A and B are shown apart, each in its own frame.
Chain A
Amino acid sequence: MIRLEKRPEPSRLWTATTPLLAVALTMIVGGLLFAVLGADPFEAIRTIFWDPLFHPQFAAYSRPQLLVKAGPLILIAIGLSIGFKAGIWNIGAEGQYIIGAVCGAGVGLAFYPSENVLIFPLMIVAGALGGWAWAMIPAVLKTKFGTNEILVSLMLVYVAQNVLIAMSTGLLRNPEGMGFPGSRNFKQWDAVHNAEIVANTGMHWGVVAAFIAVIAAYVLMSRHIQGFNIRLSGEAPRAARFAGVSPARIVFLCLGLAGALAGMAGLFEVTGPAGQLTDKFNAGYGFTAIIVAFLGRLHPVGILLAGLLMALTYIGGELAQLMLGLPGAAIQLFQGMLLFFLLATDVFTNYRLRFGAGAAA
């Protein structure tokens, strides 16, 4: 008989190794899946994990693309992780991401076609404020009326999506777009184009912001009293209250921070890689970032690595589709497995596996 026994405290060894184990299990089961689909499993795994980095034909392009893809994921996930540490479950980063992009783009477009260098910084601020304001809705509702932030923030994603549709087909629509939806193309407007800072590196301002966020979050969570308060609120809410930590303040701080970072990510995406505010620019980054946050164990450095890994599976997955003709659904399944195995192996952090008959639990 096999049974689980709760550990007195979470195992440090397992905490560190479960992500690696999850990746390894994903490779094995994913490989089997690819084999069943008629592809060489070793070639498929190599295409996904190795080729984006080292393939002579693609690597020069796809290596920088890793940063482009990982940047917004990391930026959003950092904000989310701080809230998750405090037990505040903001599931609606996608909405904050969208509204940030809409606000930032709107502020920028109001100045079109000025080439003033201050417009772009202003847009970043507007993006952050937009995301922050959107996150304040669940924060206020939670603190004033005790609503559940999971539901409210999630529902607001759908509201945000409709705001985005209304904006991209209405107010912010390109007047020279022949009646087609979508804003002006920011890539053709030098003052606000969030271009690569150094050509062919993938480093745009959003990636820089993501790196800064990683460092700042690390300092906040491990060196700053607010970080301690946040962790305390999550792990022992009653103790936190006795220590004089206001739960409402923590809610506002965590949701606001996550919203502002997600909003900034949206703005960087719209002015950079996406180039245009359309009803589909968002591509689910806000949701994927939740996976990244957990894959990175809510630790800033872990999130950095998890974001890069996630980006790798996206880009590698695309290459596998292209080069091996694997269906897109198989790639999504493969990515889903990663989270599944992570959660599955996570059990061993808190539980020990016992064999043989023992006292009934």
Chain B
Amino acid sequence: MKRRTLLASAALALSLGTGAFAQDPEVTAGFIYIGPPGDGGWTYEHDQARQKMEAHFDGRVKTIYQENVPESADAERAITQMALSGADIIFTTSFGYMDPTLAVAEKFPNVKFEHATGYKRADNVSTYSARFYEGRAIQGHIAGSMTKTNKIGYIASVPIPEVIRGINSAYIHAKKVNPDVEFSIIWLYTWFDPAKEADAARALIENGADVVLQHTDSTAPQAAAKEAGNVITFGQASDMAEYAPMPRVSSIIDDWAPYYIDRVQAVLDGTWESTDTWDGIGAGMVGIGDITDAVPEDVKAEALELKDKIASGEYHPFTGPINKQDGSVWLAEGETAPDGDLLGMNFYVEGLTAEVPN
């Protein structure tokens, strides 16, 4: 037991946890992470959800994970080894694991796979993602209302539809409250690289941005904004509350725990089926972190109202009239975006000056 104590005191989030199991676990759930659980963002929330799920099942479920798995040929091996080690269900938590997940799933028909943010499914592969763009709408609203320089910086990760949707949603809602707003977008082509993220944040701030939005996983941009002062940011994927009340004025929080509990329960019950889940604020998969006092009272009230309207389904963040960047009509007056358009989104809306990388 001494080692266990040492382990706990070192606060190492080892997969076996600290307690002894009351009974033998019935199901092993594996997780493949793109970054370390200590990234404070994306992987952190997946890992929190993993721990909550394990605690929820109280010994009936054992979890294992592998961190820092690159989106290369290594991913396929990591997933295969996890399946070989006896995992019954494997969550692969980054877009780049899509084809590797499908390839391994074909070889292990009895193992269930859950791929986050992809679009390819099979009999034993489900996909799940969250409607982050709903949170982006609220972010855009606050950002547009609060910017004084009218310049908003955006640290974009990898040019996939999810990220482009976020940019469009934030822009549309910033523009609605502030027609003069301009977006500068920097693409990093990585989900997690604190050094690059900090550099990007500094470059944006030097160019006059007083709001920095990020779609990368670390807290480095928050730290850079704090250093610069008078710049506001939003927690990404996780609350990042350690940077509240300034620069972090709110956040988008991914809450995967209910989904993980639900899916593992289905494996326990033998009712697991391949599904496609895409939930937002309404279902609780996307949370909006506390809006701090740095935000003016009226802006905060509007933001919360917007949140409620999105949650209830009364308002869709992509409601026409919206034109594409080239001026062609995408959504007519009052029309809302069909999910198909959103899932494959590879264009900017009218007003954004940059180009989608291609």
- Which residues of A does B touch, CB under 8 Å? 37-40, 57-58, 61-62, 65, 68-69, 165-166, 169-170, 173, 178-182, 185, 187, 269, 272-276, 278-283, 314-315, 318-319, 321-323, 325, 327-329
Q: Judge if B66 is at the interface, Cβ distance under 8 Å.
A: yes
Q: Which residues does chain B contribute within 8 Å of A273, judged by CB atoms?
A: 73, 76
Report B51 CB to chain A, min CB distance, Å.
13
Check B67 against A180 for contact (C-beta < 8 Å).
no
Among the 9-residue stretches B12-20, B141-149, B203-211, B298-306, the one with 4 or more Cβ atoms under 8 Å from chain A is B12-20
Check A275 against B77 for contact (C-beta < 8 Å).
no
Q: Which residues does chain B contribute within 8 Å of A180, judged by CB atoms?
A: 95, 119, 160-161
Q: Whole-angstrom distance between the alpha carbons of A187 and B73 in the complex? A: 12
Smallest Cβ-Cβ distance to A279: which chain B residue: B189
- Which of A57, A180, A273: most chain B CB closer than 10 A? A180
Choice from A61, A69, A181, A274 contacting B160 with Cβ under 8 Å:
A181
Given contacts A38-B4, A318-B66, A318-B81, 20 further A-B contacts (CB under 8 A): A57-B84, A58-B84, A58-B85, A68-B73, A165-B357, A178-B344, A180-B161, A273-B73, A273-B76, A274-B73, A280-B70, A280-B72, A283-B73, A283-B74, A321-B66, A322-B64, A322-B66, A325-B14, A325-B64, A327-B36
Q: Judge if B71 is at the interface, Cβ distance under 8 Å.
A: yes
Report A77 CB to chain B, min CB distance, Å.
18
Q: Whole-angstrom distance between the alpha carbons of A181 and B119 in the complex? A: 13
Q: Which residues does chain A contribute within 8 Å of B10, judged by CB atoms?
A: 37-38
Q: Whole-angstrom distance between the alpha carbons of A186 and B16 in the complex? A: 38
Known contacts A62-B81, A274-B72, A328-B36: A279-B66 contact under CB 8 Å: no
Q: Whole-angstrom distance between the alpha carbons of A318 and B67 in the complex? A: 9
Known contacts A179-B344, A318-B78: A327-B67 contact under CB 8 Å: yes
Query: Would you give 20 A-B contacts (Cβ < 8 Å), ordered by A?
Result: A37-B12, A58-B81, A165-B189, A169-B357, A170-B358, A178-B343, A179-B346, A180-B160, A185-B99, A187-B99, A187-B103, A274-B73, A278-B72, A279-B158, A280-B70, A283-B70, A323-B85, A325-B15, A328-B66, A328-B67
Q: Which residues does chain A contribute within 8 Å of B36, judged by CB atoms?
A: 327-329
Q: Which residues does chain A contribute within 8 Å of B111, judged by CB atoms?
A: none
Report B125 CB to chain A, min CB distance, Å.
15
Q: Which residues 31-46 of B sit at the A interface, judged by CB distance below 8 A?
A: 36
Q: Whole-angstrom distance between the alpha carbons of A322 and B95 in the complex? A: 21
Check B84 against A283 for contact (C-beta < 8 Å).
no
Smallest Cβ-Cβ distance to A35: which chain B residue: B3
Check B189 against A321 for contact (C-beta < 8 Å).
no
Known contacts A165-B189, A169-B159, A178-B119: A275-B103 contact under CB 8 Å: yes
Q: Which residues does chain A contribute within 8 Å of B66, judged by CB atoms?
A: 318, 321-322, 328
B78-115 interface bits toward A, Cβ cutoff 8 Å, 1 = contact, 0 = none: 10111011100000000110010001000000000000
Choice from A173, A179, A182, A187 contacting B161 with Cβ under 8 Å:
A179
Q: Whole-angstrom distance between the alpha carbons of A279 and B158 in the complex? A: 9
Q: Which residues does chain B contribute within 8 Å of A328, judged by CB atoms?
A: 36, 66-68
